[in-house]
Amino acid sequence: MSKGFRELSWAPIMKYFIRIEEAVKEFKGGVVNLASGSPDVVPRPEEVMDAISDVASRYWGEVVSYPPPGGPRRLRDEVRAYLASQGVDLGGMDLLVFSGSMHALNVLSLALIRAGDLIASENPTFTDSLIPMKLHGASVRPIALTPSGLEGLARGVEGVKALYVVPTANNPTGMTYSAEARSEIAELSSEHDFLVIEDDPYRALASTPPPPIVNYCRAHTCVYVGSFSKVLAPGFRVAYAAVPRELSEVVMKASEVSLALSSLASLVIYALLRKGLVARYAAEGRRRCELRLKALVDALRDYMPYAALWAEPRGGFYAFIKVPGVNMDKVLDEALRRGVSYVPGPAFYLDSPDLSTARLSIAKTREDDIVRGVKALSEAVKSVAPGPIT
């Protein structure tokens, strides 16, 4: 076993999911899920079955073969058109298909990261994404993500090889970076010659987001990563990354090492895109997110007197709350006993975790259950708070 892997424990987010799953088994009354990063699935089984039989009859040879390097050309072209319809301008970049964006990030790390590289990252963030870079010997410099943006960004990116950000409906904060912040990142990347790794799986579920950072990067300084996990379902394991043309060969070669892409899954996504179904699922999903986030924010206002919303979410799955003076990791056990789950904020910090924070997700939960969950959470917070907080 490699040294890096020996030292790797479960990713912090997964540790909480294991703890939640165990408690949920014990709890008889049904737990309100404010923890999930996976969506309520919009596609209907018969639509997926149609897509499967469609690709099996038309492209059987491709379905049963290894996928070509970079993924099936027909899917790559269709994804490009899908992204263009959302205002994502990939210019002359190459778009490659992967088996989930975690696979894309693994391959990118294999292709681009060397031991000793320094990577800057927003903090808090989706910490899982940085694990492959660390395994390849990179160290990570956190840059604080605050409601007014990335603090000390210009200093933070000095000497780095890459900057990792989730700028749209951020996981975990729900924040969406402003157009100005995006353009500043793009400018700094060409000035200081680092690569922006823009991880953007929630764009289709965000309410009128600004253009992606890649649109501002005219000097081949961005890798744009996206996924169908949040719009369709994570089980398909189909995602994509657009890379500057000069990097595409090395990234394709790195991808061939694992050859993880499923031809069947890729072509099913192709068929769903061709039929315009993915656009319909995205619109349905977005509407659902808006209604549920509104229910969440209203319930927090009504039942969590001391909860400060870090940022008003504009779509996607998440809101990040801070309850000053209260340890939200400790609150989790009480919350689970009262029938609600969530992920404590420390799972998302690269250093100095703020224990008083928590990620609440609406991905799998309807409005009335969200209200029930927030009420239970409020009771749990009060039971753990050191003094009266109402």
Ligand X SMILES: Cc1ncc(COP(=O)(O)O)c(C=O)c1O
Closest to ligand X by CB, 136 or 375: 136
Least distance (Å) between residue 217 CB and ligand X: 19
73-80 long-range contacts (CB < 8 A, ≥24 apart) are 74/267, 74/270, 75/238, 75/266, 75/267, 75/269, 75/270, 75/273, 76/240, 78/270, 78/273, 78/274, 79/240, 79/273
Give strand pairing partners of 308.
322
String of contacts with ligand X for each residue 219-238, x by CB under 6 A: --------x-x----x----
Q: Using the rule CB under 6 A, which residue among 239, 268, 293, 376 binds ligand X?
A: 239
Closest to ligand X by CB, 17 or 27: 17
Q: Using the rule CB under 6 A, which residue among 106, 109, 129, 189 binds ligand X?
A: 129
State which of positions 178-217 bind ligand X (CB under 6 A). Answer: 199, 201
State which of positions 365-384 bind ligand X (CB under 6 A). Answer: none
* Total length of the chain: 390
Residue 237 is inside which H or E element, if any?
none
Handedness of CA 63, 67, 71, 76 (dihedral sign): negative
Least distance (Å) between residue 257 CB and ligand X: 18
Q: 306 is written with which tokens?
A: 């001391």
Torsion of the alpha carbons at 118, 119, 125 and 127, rounded to the nearest 10 = -70
Q: Using the rule CB under 6 A, which residue among 123, 171, 215, 365 binds ligand X?
A: 171
Least distance (Å) between residue 263 CB and ligand X: 18
Closest to ligand X by CB, 184 or 199: 199
Torsion of the alpha carbons at 226, 229, 232 and 238, rounded to the nearest 10 = 70
Contact 316, 174 (CB under 8 A): yes
Q: Confirm or reject binding of residue 345 to ligand X (CB under 6 A).
A: no
State which of positions 95-114 bind ligand X (CB under 6 A). Answer: 100-102
Q: Which residues bind ligand X (CB under 6 A)?
A: 37, 100-102, 126, 129, 166, 171, 199, 201, 227, 229, 234, 239
